[in-house]
Amino acid sequence: MVTKSQVLDALRGVNDPELGRSLVDLGMVQDIAVEGRTVRFTLVLTTMGCPLKERMMGDAREAIVALGDVDDVEITCREMTAAQKERVVPQQKQPQPGAAEHLNHIKKVVAVVSGKGGVGKSSVAAMLAVALRQQGHGVGVLDADITGPSIPKMFGLNGVPPMGPVGILPAESKTGIRVMSINLLLPNENEAVIWRGPLIGGAIRQFWGDVVWGDLDVLIVDLPPGTSDASLTVMQSIPLNGVVLVTSPQGLAGMVVRKAAGMAAQLKVPVVGVVENMSHMICPKCGERIEVFGPSQAAETARQLAAPLLGRLALDPELARRCDAGQIEDYPATAFVPIAAAIQAGLSERPSVPIMR
């Protein structure tokens, strides 16, 4: 039979993914009990809404079962007291105002999210920026996809942005859209960014607080696919007025985007609605509407999420060509205008409250 000390030693090898420290060292493991081949303990969390809770519980179970002679692991969760949180979370982990934050006046912040890659999330984010700018709004795009940035390429931007006396000045497109992306800071746009979660999170927080965005009506945050560290950082540390979910007709894409919606719900960020990209294409010869990826799943996905279906976008080779050429602002995005209007109208007046844990 395993002992309490063996269980404790096994759990020393399990980390809180965000804080990067052992659950035991953080004081998150309490009340260990061993009864026969069953191990019980309490996992004390900084917040019960922690989206990484299931991952930590799974890692803990695996570590204990690996000891052998264990058939069942029962984990009870509870939340830390305020005093415990103060001891566990280092002061530097708490959200601190960026050097340029006091200069920025941003009316609305919207994140564009997808469950999986390949659904055209970044092109939707870029088209939203273009449509809002064409309506006369002050618009910025924060490219939070640190390891797979594509926003600068679409807008034809390159070169390192200048450093002002307080913070970094964002690059500006030909129509005046302000952009910040890790690709603008690399010596070569093809250079890989091979960073772990804490570095990625730090870069995103800098893009929010150390960039002089100035006066903006809307800041669009282009998130990487899925529910990884970057998405968690944005939803926990930036006051969002809403998220837009981008999917495609495949059932798989709909299933995965529901995970992203679940993450937003746990972190109390309102979902503005669903955009189905690559819904169909129009044959250039006969004008027939072709459902390349099968029948649309958007209405059902939106219904399951209790969120509005903001619109369906066609698969258009011209958009791909314009993005590759850095000319997305020249793309006639007439189909996107009502979607942009619906997004703007659906943004909450009250932003989410950052809960960096």
- Tens digit of each residue's pLDDT (9 = 90 or more) over 289-314: 888 777 878 788 888 888 999 999 88
Q: Are residues 171 and 303 in the same domain?
A: yes
Q: Are residues 183 and 299 in the same domain?
A: yes
The pLDDT value given to residue 64 = 94
* Cα first-last separation, the chain: 36
Last residue of a domain, one of 51, 75, 93: 93
CATH code of the domain covering residue 313: 3.40.50.300
CATH code of the domain covering residue 82: 3.30.300.130
Task: Give the domain range for residue 233.
Answer: 101-346
Buried b (16+ CB within 10 A) or exposed e, 147-185: eebbbbbbbbbeeebeeeeebbbbbebeeebbbbbbbbe
Q: Are residues 143 and 198 in the same domain?
A: yes
The pLDDT value given to residue 201 = 78
Q: Are residues 206 and 288 in the same domain?
A: yes
Last residue of a domain, one of 93, 119, 135: 93
Region 252-279: what's the mean pLDDT? 83
Alpha helices in 168-219 (DSSP H): 197-209
The mean predicted confidence, pLDDT, of the chain is 85
- Tens digit of each residue's pLDDT (9 = 90 or more) over 42-76: 999 887 766 678 889 999 999 999 999 999 999 99
Q: Are residues 142 and 239 in the same domain?
A: yes
Reported as a pLDDT band with limits 50, 70 and 90, residue 115 is low
Q: Residue 110: CB partners within 8 Å, gap ≥ 6? A: 128, 218, 219, 220, 221, 240, 241, 242, 243, 244, 272, 343, 347
Region 80-102: what's the mean pLDDT? 69
Last residue of a domain, one of 33, 60, 93: 93
The pLDDT value given to residue 156 = 94
d(CA 41, CA 29): 7
Q: Are residues 89 and 135 in the same domain?
A: no
Reported as a pLDDT band with limits 50, 70 and 90, residue 92 is very low
- Tens digit of each residue's pLDDT (9 = 90 or more) over 7-45: 999 999 999 876 778 999 999 999 999 999 999 999 998
* pTM of the entire predicted model: 0.72
Q: Are residues 210 and 284 in the same domain?
A: yes
Region 322-342: what's the mean pLDDT? 91
CB 147 within 8 A of CB 287: no
The pLDDT value given to residue 82 = 79
Q: Are residues 47 and 115 in the same domain?
A: no
Q: Are residues 85 and 188 in the same domain?
A: no
Q: Residue 316: CB partners within 8 Å, gap ≥ 6? A: 281
Q: Are residues 116 and 257 in the same domain?
A: yes
In total, how many domains does the chain have?
2
* Rg of the chain in Å (alpha carbons): 23
Q: Are residues 69 and 15 in the same domain?
A: yes
Asked, for residue 357, whether it belongs to a domain, the answer is no
Report whether pLDDT(357) > 60: no
Asked, for residue 353, whether it belongs to a domain, the answer is no
Asked, for residue 31, whether it belongs to a domain, the answer is yes
Helix or strand run (H / E) with residue 153:
helix 151-155
Asked, for residue 180, whether it belongs to a domain, the answer is yes
Closest C-alpha among 79, 91, 108 to residue 352: 108
Q: Are residues 81 and 109 in the same domain?
A: no
